[in-house]
Structure 1
Amino acid sequence: MADTVLYDVTDGVGTVTLNRPDAMNAMNTEAKNALRDTLREAAADPSVRAVLLTATGRAFCVGQDLKEHITSLDADRAAGGSDPMRTVREHYNPIVMAIAGMPKPVVAAVNGVAAGAGAGFALAADHRIAAAGASFTTAFAGVGLSADSGLSWTLPRLIGHGRAAELLLFPRSVNAYEARELGMVDKVVPDKELALVAKSVARRLAQGPTVAYAAIKESLAFGAGHTLAETLAKEDELQTRAGLSEDHRTAVAAFVKKEKPRFEGR
């Protein structure tokens, strides 16, 4: 059986690839476990300075594998259970926290449809590049569910409360160009160029100041839910951390010499 998630580390980039193309990368239990664990591995690996999240086939990820899910619902009901959606707690929440919380930048290369949890994974990344043929949909209300995979947090922050509510209440396909206009993605490229462009962006980030990137991610997340005064205090803390890094010293010395800095990620 082919691995449901592929993992490769090259030139400081940890590439995590969803690999259930025949199922449009729908997330069964095996895939959810593998994605969660692989992202955690990438986050903890000091040789990985940036992560690229992408997929094989014609879809990025269509969310939960509903064939497996209906079987789980039936089994839970037969056993008298009352927690049929525990996969949110066990899988989707940890996956999104691994993407958004790791101290290194994550680039999502969206090669096709990103639906439900698949959209959530993409929007949790720090930078999103979509193929021209890609599309996004929240999907949840269509199957009688609320939002998960962080969409109730990421979507309104990217496109505003009103637009987020509309897309959650009235799920529809948002093509790549509309997604860019709304602010859901940062760049749209021809389908055939996605892999090359995304690798180039991830490699550029991997060659950058890793400590500073981690601080930027932390400051953005903190600022989203705190007052200006609290955020200024957090910026002081994080800037002190970045200022003590070797990369900062290297960059300042290179600037004085009018040279290009070579960051080591520490």
Structure 2
Amino acid sequence: MSKSEVLIGEGAVLLDLQDGVAHLHLNRPEASNGLDIPTLHALQAALLRCHGERRIRVVLLTGAGANFCAGGDVHTFIAKGDELPEYIRQATLLLQEAISAMIHLDAPVIAAVQGYAAGGGGMGLVCASDIVFAAASAKFLGGATRVAMAPDAGLSVTLPRLVGPRKAADMLLMNPVVPAPEALALGLINLVVADDELQATALAYAQRMAQGAPQALAATKRLLWSGVGLGVDAAMPEESRTVAALCRTTDVREGLMAVIEKRSAQFEGR
């Protein structure tokens, strides 16, 4: 295992890289990792760094402290007074750009959630991730209409995709607190683990995924996101084109030979 390399070492969002796994860490525990404009700028910068770093094969998204992300920073919001509409407009735009950057990132994003994932910030990040692990005590909350706002961060699209339109309507209109076991049953998350095992479990999974063929992981992620609105008949030709393109890579030949030779494949991303 190589030594961890610090890419962003201070501020509201930290980023380091080790053996193909980028650890993207929300770092405002005193504010439950609430998203204000400076934090959103930092998140956007970290995601752009991920887009530009070819060594990154998987991103592990975590939050410092008791909560993964409590959504928007309500204390900052209320302090803005009459300037709140313009502040929210800017914050929403930055959050949308961050969510889009996550979805369009070649590397799959794995989120590890403890405490609350709430609002467009917390729930938006969860729904834009590709795989989500949650601590047994984790809780999920829409929250926007509770403060007379509406969902943002793409939640009106991503949440129904994951849990179905009826349950999404209930979660976004009535704001129930959804505990981790229920979130698992709904399909919002992939796995519930003991609180003290969350980080180690998510990291081990990310490390295993990082051993996969990078171009194949990226192509599969793209197909999963783009295929949602296409329907099967429209999606299948795109699948065929993608597989044919991947077959020009040396990773495919390596994968096939590894199966024949009954060994682990060593993918190089080319």
Q: Which band: TM-score by shorter chain? A: over 0.9
Residue equivalent to 2:15? 7
How far 1:227 sits from its partner (Å)?
A: 3.4
Q: Do 1:132 and 1:188's aligned partners in 2 also have CA atoms closer than 8 Å?
A: yes
Q: Deviations over 1:140-174 (max 9, x none)?
A: 01011111112111111111110000100100111
Aligned residues: 260
In the TM superposition, what are the counterparts of 1:1-266 in structure 2 within 5 Å?
A: 3-75=11-83, 83-116=86-119, 117-266=121-270
SS at match of 1:48: coil
Residue equivalent to 2:3? none
How far 1:256 sits from its partner (Å)?
A: 1.7
Q: Do 1:49 and 1:265's aligned partners in 2 also have CA atoms closer than 8 Å?
A: no
Q: Normalised by the size of structure 1, how large is the TM-score?
A: 0.93
Query: Residues of 1 paired with 2:90 and 2:74: CA distance?
Result: 13
SS at match of 1:188: strand
Q: Do 1:73 and 1:84's aligned partners in 2 also have CA atoms closer than 8 Å?
A: no
Letter in 2 for 1:197: T
Letter in 1 for 2:64: T
Letter in 2 for 1:194: L
Structure 2, unaligned runs of 5 or more: 1-9
How far 1:265 sits from its partner (Å)?
A: 2.5
Query: Residues of 1 paired with 2:69 and 2:160: CA distance?
Result: 21
Q: Deviations over 1:43-91 (max 9, x none)?
A: 2201111000001100000111112123335225xxxxx7453235531
Query: Residues of 1 paired with 2:86 and 2:13: CA distance?
Result: 27
- Are residues 167 and 250 of structure 1, via their aligned partners in 2, closer, same or farther at CA, if it must alter by over 3 Å? same
Residue equivalent to 1:79? none
SS at match of 1:8: strand
Q: Deviations over 1:92-132 (max 9, x none)?
A: 11111111110111100002200012111011100000011
Q: Do 1:132 and 1:177's aligned partners in 2 also have CA atoms closer than 8 Å?
A: yes
Query: Residues of 2 paired with 1:160 and 1:88: CA distance?
Result: 27
SS at match of 2:80: helix
Query: Residues of 2 paired with 1:222 and 1:106: CA distance?
Result: 16
Query: Residues of 1 paired with 2:198 and 2:52: CA distance?
Result: 27
Residue equivalent to 2:4? none
Query: Residues of 2 paired with 1:104 and 1:70: CA distance?
Result: 36
SS at match of 2:68: strand
Q: Normalised by the size of structure 2, how large is the TM-score?
A: 0.92
Structure 1, unaligned runs of 5 or more: 77-81
Query: Residues of 2 paired with 1:188 and 1:62: CA distance?
Result: 19
Identity rate of aligned residues, in percent? Answer: 37
Query: Residues of 1 paired with 2:260 and 2:23: CA distance?
Result: 35
Query: Residues of 1 paired with 2:110 and 2:83: CA distance?
Result: 37
